[in-house]
A and B are shown apart, each in its own frame.
Chain A
Amino acid sequence: MGVEGIGARVVRKEDKRFITGKGRYVDDIKLLGMTHAHFIRSPHAHAKVKGIDSSAALKMPGVVAVLTGQQLVDDKVGNLICGWAITSKDGSPMKMGAWPAMAPETVRFVGQAVAVVIADSKNLARDAAEAVVVDYEELPAVADVHAAIKAGAPQLHPEAPGNQVYDWVIGDEGATDAAFAKAANVVKLDVTNNRLAPNAMEPRAAIADYDAAEEHFTLYTTSQNPHVARLVLSAFYNIAPEHKLRVIAPDVGGGFGSKIFIYPEEMVALWASKKVGRPVKWTGDRTEAFLTDAHGRDHVTHAEMAFDANNKITGFKVKTYANFGAYMSLFSSSVPTYLYATLLSGQYNIPAIHAEVIGVYTNTTPVDAYRGAGRPEASYLIERLMETAARQLKVDPAALRRANFITQFPHQTPVIMAYDTGDFNASLDAAMKAIDYAGFAARKAQAKSQGKLRGIGVSCYIEACGIAPSKAVGSLGAGVGLWESAEVRVNPVGTIEILTGSHSHGQGHETTFCQLVADRLGVPISQVSIVHGDTDKVQFGMGTYGSRSAAVGLTAILKAMEKVESKAKKIAAHALEASEADIVIENGEFKVTGTDKAIAFPMVALAAYTAHNLPDGMEPGLKESAFYDPTNFTFPAGTYICELEVDPGTGKTSFVNFVAADDFGRLINPMIVEGQVHGGLVQGIGQALLEHAIYDVNGQPVTASFMDYAMPRADDVPSFNLSHTTTLCPGNPLGIKGCGEAGAIGASAAVINAITDAIGKNNLEMPATPDRVWRTINAA
């Protein structure tokens, strides 16, 4: 692998700028003549906008403009779109109400913008916003899914009667019912998957700069996928044609899904910059993040699993209500359907599955993909149910899982997915060994003697990553293809620039992507640079989410590299007067195999550009590009086991040990992979123990700051014991499965299974706060 090649723990190239304070995030950028935007947001969960009086604000110093939702309508700026079409079981398309970037008539969640003040400074814009008078007529609101679908509930959109977006089904209902009719045992469980706020540490921000002479816009934005942003802004919102719109996502301070979407604020900033003739900057504060960044999860589910007399699963029935909030965000419709229900087979042989998902509007912040997106909800449900089943059937939870594992691959599940490879026994074995599963009973007894309730919880997760191939996602309703592109530019002196459509916002692409080049060509990573996040530099790309950058993005780079190497070999063979077939690449040199004849890579590059002595008919230069579309999703899988203690007097949970055994296929940089797992685990643990975005019955958010929403802090979580088992992914030439979401997908069930094991009660909702655990212990 070499010291900097694939598999090496290379420290990150990008770190120097971040540790020295030289990172360049959107809010760090200043443009000449820049104005500042402050949005006026609804304090009501549901209201009519009767009028907006900005006359006093417009007289205040430094105020450039006050713009309203009606002006957006007048200028024919498009409404926000949802990019994945879902069809209900009755064949009807999903039912959606319009989502304008600023509401001209009706607001449907607290925080929805109705107007924006543009001023010379941020403080002046805020001051003026206080002077804008918005006349609201309050309407009844509903925040809870069950309340929203009841007869007589407040209605959000006339297009969606009963607040129902869709009623979607997957699987074979008849076969599933037949399995339940013959079942020896049926295990039932109701679970709520609590709503989360993503909380990337960098709040969203945008700077829009309109050049009137060129009729050209530049947008600096906190995006995980700047090319998709340009496409959507151009094709659907009528902001500007693509060639007149440059989108730059510079250093981005975390995303976790929340920065995939194209939000009202960047649309308004672009539109406003043309209207006021100056650059417009908006930087959200944390409360705006809580109110307007797309939330995650929020499912209410009833599930039943059928077992035969040998404890083999024979059927699985699921009914889920998914809360979408007040509007359908960009990929929201796909999250509780194709990213959730298609994973309901978990790691298990389940002959018959039927799932029904009802999407519901409520007067809350829109919900969309958040780290894992649908797969954490599926994994949590299955793994809570497996644990419940083991308790009901009085068998060891690990043994019950093992008895039902899929062991033959490829495996076609009853819910679309075809698992390509895996070894679920290997990861379960590794995790059980790491935590000394066999010794748990003795440790539990020891803890009991000290007045503590000790529990152990297993979670065997599987996920579908890469979110490709395009043909497959297209057939399921996706509005875009989900391939990735890359370009490899070799400079005349032999340094290399890799242009990628993937976007790094913490994932370390500037290091890992270079490692592939180092591996192939034997050049040091210092000679390679990664270019991303700018639509003027990179032709196109689908961006980073769904753990796809290595499996899809890096493979695109590999495909372009292969073309570069092929041409370079021809040039080297010509220079060395050898046959192309005899050229091998070793340690930065192109060698004639079996001889001492060689030419260094920089000399090959120089030859390509001087073009003095190229093979007849060869074009000068050394630059190639590739688009890569995988043949299948990838299927990372693994086992997490959590051991913890509960203090029965207080309900407080303390971690004893947390082990993770993941199969991500080939690892490019194990150090970075481990970091991804650590972060994901803590997001999963945060959901299990701490985090909950709560609304009151009137749709008022009560957790809109870090004072109220419990983010995991360093002393809330343990250090982790990680290991890897490996089956190479057959779907891409590097054998990569992806690692970005696993921790968040698998961790929460392990924690809740451990707590419920400790306290001997099965029904416990997340977040399992000390208060909730104590009440559960003491419930009759």
Chain B
Amino acid sequence: MSTVKLTVNGKAVAVDVEDRTLLVHLLRDHLNLTGTHVGCDTSQCGACVVHMDGRAVKSCTMLAGQADGANVTTIEGIAKGDELHPMQAAFRDNHGLQCGYCTPGMIMSAIDIVHRYGGQLDEATVRHELEGNICRCTGYHNIVKAVLDAAGRMKVSQAAE
């Protein structure tokens, strides 16, 4: 057992976990942040994507101990109170989700994509960048629309800040 100290969604926490515990299980089982999902066991589907120190990571593919001292943001931590993150709003407005299971990972990856490209995105780039996130419901059509929509919204909200 080890104590892992990290910041999750702005809150400092210290969690005692078995050394073999994955970050996703620390989040889900110990902190009850069940928005981060597990959809595969080979780091392929991306349902578990969270942000660690500002980068998108697959939380099923790292030990909780590797997040010691890190700043982790999950799907539960991106809205400002009742105000949705522009990516969340864009997924809703563009019907970018159906069963909702891949959605948290999709949204976390998509935010990272927009940040990395400074909002300068086209359809081909979005499709290429979403390669690590699998959705079985939407056929990706509306997810791609949502990401492009959100890229515009995020530029506007950044400009306003």
Contacts and interface: CB of A to CB of B under 8 A. Distances in A.
Nearest to A743: B139
Contacts of B137: 201, 254, 506, 675, 679
A115 to B, nearest CB: 21
B70 interface: no
A679 B139 contact: yes
Interface in A285-333: 285-287
A552 to B, nearest CB: 20
Interface in A1-41: 11-12, 14-25, 27-28
A201 B104 contact: no
A16 to B, nearest CB: 7
A681 B139 CA distance: 7
B6 interface: no
B98 A679 contact: yes
B53 interface: no
Contacts of A150: none
Q: Which of A19, A23, A705, A706 has the most CB of B within 10 A?
A: A19
B34 A28 contact: yes
Given A11-B92, A21-B75, A679-B98, A717 B130 contact: no
Main secondary structure of the interface of A (DSSP, over half): loop
A678 interface: yes
Interface stretch (B42-50, B61-69, B152-160): B42-50
Contacts of B84: 19-20
Contacts of A711: 44, 134, 136
Contacts of B42: 286, 705-707
A71 B157 CA distance: 62
Nearest to B124: A715
A15 B90 CA distance: 11
Choose among A705, A706, A715, A719 the residue with the greatest number of B CB atoms under 10 Å from its CB: A715
A200 interface: yes
Given A202-B39, A286-B41, A715-B131, A253 B99 contact: yes
Interface in A354-385: none
B128 interface: yes
A553 interface: no
Contacts of A203: 38-39
A437 interface: no
B92 A201 contact: no
Interface in A248-282: 251-254, 256
A671 interface: yes
A679 B75 CA distance: 24
Nearest to B89: A19
B41 A705 contact: yes
A675 B143 contact: no
A145 B34 CA distance: 43
28 contacts: A11-B95, A18-B104, A19-B91, A21-B76, A23-B101, A27-B34, A199-B136, A200-B99, A200-B101, A201-B37, A201-B99, A201-B101, A203-B39, A254-B136, A285-B38, A286-B40, A286-B42, A505-B99, A506-B98, A506-B137, A674-B142, A679-B137, A706-B44, A714-B130, A714-B144, A715-B130, A717-B140, A720-B139
Interface of A: 11-12, 14-25, 27-28, 123, 199-203, 251-254, 256, 285-287, 505-508, 671-672, 674-675, 678-683, 705-707, 711-715, 717, 719-720, 743
